[in-house]
Amino acid sequence: MKAVHMIAFLLLVVGGLNWLLVGAFSFNLVTALVGSMPMVENVVYILVGASAVYELVTHKTNCRMCAKSDAGMQQA
């Protein structure tokens, strides 16, 4: 599961950086990399979105900081 988490995290970083580039410079990195293949571009966007859902659902179990704060709250 760690590999899935790392891939999802990497896709979220790529997606976030892409949105930064789109917002700041009107430059879409995904389109620049696979521009002539719209199906591949859609697959990339779907994978980034699925990664966001995966991280949202599994965040509590994967995040050390959240696990620590939950442990502290349970003791109180």
Domain ranges of the chain: 2-75
What pLDDT sits at residue 48?
94
pLDDT digits (tens, 9 = 90+) for 9-68: 999 999 999 999 999 999 999 999 888 899 999 999 999 999 999 988 988 887 777 767
Instruction: Characterise 32 by phi-psi region: left (phi > 0), alpha (psi -120 to 50), beta (else).
Output: alpha
What pLDDT sits at residue 76?
47
What pLDDT sits at residue 73?
53
DSSP-derived letter for residue 73 is: H
What pLDDT sits at residue 63?
76
